[in-house]
Amino acid sequence: MATHKLLLLPGDGIGPEVMGEVKRLIGWINAQGLAHFETEEGLVGGAAYDASKQSITDATMAMASAADAVIFGAVGGPKWDSVPYEARPEAGLLRLRKDLGLFANLRPAVCYPALAEASSLKREVVEGLDIMIVRELTGGVYFGEPKTITDLGNGQKRAIDTQVYDTYEIERIARVAFDLARKRRNKLTSMEKRNVMKSGVLWNEVVTQVHAREYKDVQLEHQLADSGGMNLVKAPKQFDVIVTDNLFGDMLSDIAAMLTGSLGMLPSASLGEIDATSRKRKSLFEPVHGSAPDIAGKGLANPIAMISSFGMALRYSFDLGALADKVDAAIAAVLAKGMRTADIKSEGTTAVSTSQMGEAILKEL
């Protein structure tokens, strides 16, 4: 059996707690002989800053580069609000994305039937919702240069950020999105602001070309990002796969996640290009939720998003789709039995802690 190398980066806040439940799952998979994972662990975010004054060290980056997949918890918290900008906790995550070339961020927004009531939206609007947001993750305003604050004198400063997109960056993310649409309901919606941004004009043009050349069988639609956001709130079930740039993807995927009422449940995958020789790709898996410093260390965190992110690793990095299906089924089963962490607790359900939830999922498996 092949050995898969994982780098675990728990990070800050509830990161270590939810990662604990993934470690338990990995131990079980190894013990059962279903696969063979070798794990290393490293520091990222505030935890790394406390140890090394950097949000991630070169040594940890080297480990990430050598791993078959990175499993990431969450970073940040008020404790690090005033560390130097270049060393802020988020910088560690951004460096991982950029240096590993993880250009494709897959964020499913699924409304678990058992949780439809937890949404602020009406049940009929979100029940059965199943969207996949494909966000470009290594370009755009996140990384474009210049990115500066200049002192102009007279008490005036000027801040500049730059949104840059090249044709190839749009092509490759479009292909990821079209391929996913083919495996789903065959519909792709591309979102940009071509009426205001030149990057939106190019985005629209390139997605249209890739469609015409390679994916005529997929239904393609374009929406402006602002009305796309409106439509997400008004009638989200009209969407199957959405493809959009880094910044719009940040906003829109968070909104889509919130619609489902299942924020503590949603995973994400960040994927690099497939290497022509090894047929492997770099990858990182992280929950959509943040580090939630207010509830850290109390056993209150919901480990499902983290476990489900590991499920995406099984599916997208290790070709263990059947095992991933079993993990998903185990999650659905414990929810059906009424087990709930505090974030999704409602009347008539049973409150469980982080570790009780992790155990219950393992027991289902």
Its sign, for the CA torsion 152, 153, 154, 155, is positive
Show binding-site residues for NAD(+): 77-90, 290-302
Sign of CA dihedral 205, 245, 239, 270: positive
Q: Count CB-CB contacts under 10 A for residue 14.
A: 30
251 binds, among its own copies, ligand IPM, none (CB under 5 to 8 A by kind): its own copies
Cα–Cα dist 273/170, whole Å: 13
* Residue 250 found at the interface with ligand IPM (CB under 6 A): yes
What's the Rg (C-alpha) of the chain? Answer: 20
Contact characters 66-105, ligand IPM, x per CB under 6 A: ------------------------x--xx-----------
Q: What residues line the site for its own copies (CB under 8 A)?
A: 76, 85, 88, 90, 94, 120-122, 125, 141-142, 144, 147-149, 152, 155-168, 193, 195-199, 201-203, 225-227, 229-230, 233-235, 247-248, 250-251, 254-255, 257-259, 263, 290
Q: Number of C-alpha atoms within 13 angstroms, CB side, residue 265?
A: 31
- Is residue 99 annotated as part of the catalytic site, yes or no? no
Q: Considering CB distances under 5 to 8 angstroms, the limit depending on partner class, which of its own copies, ligand IPM, none binds residue 35?
A: none
**Min. distance of Cβ 288 from ligand IPM in angstroms?**
7
Q: Which residue's beta carbon is nearest to the bound ligand IPM? A: 90
At residue 43, the 3 state secondary structure works out as coil
Q: State how far the Cα of 206 lies from the Cα of 200, in Å rounded to an integer.
A: 10
179 is catalytic: no
Q: Which residues, numbered 204-243, are part of the site for ligand IPM (CB under 6 A)?
A: 226
Name the nearest CA neighbour of 174 among 201, 207, 204, 132: 207
Residue 96 — left, alpha, or beta (φ > 0 → left; ψ -120 to 50 → alpha)?
Answer: alpha
Distance set, CA 83 to CA 48, 53, 87, 111, 131 (Å):
12, 9, 6, 37, 37
351 binds ligand IPM (CB under 6 A): no
Report in angstroms how near the CB of residue 297 gets to ligand IPM at its nearest.
20
Q: Which of 112, 142, 215, 316 is catalytic?
A: 142
Task: Identify whether 250 is a catalytic site residue.
Answer: yes
Binding positions are 77-90, 97, 107, 135, 226, 250, 254, 290-302
For residue 286, the minimal CB distance to ligand IPM (Å) is 7
User: Does 254 participate in catalysis according to the annotation?
Assistant: yes
- Determine whether 316 is an active site residue: no
Scored b (16 or more CB within 10 A) or e, 259-283 reads bbbbbbbbbbbbbbeeeeeeeebbb
Q: Based on CB atoms, which residue is closest to its own copies, 32 or 148?
A: 148
List, by residue number, the catalytic residues: 142, 193, 226, 250, 254
Instruction: List residues near ligand IPM by CB under 6 A.
Output: 90, 93-94, 195-196, 226, 250
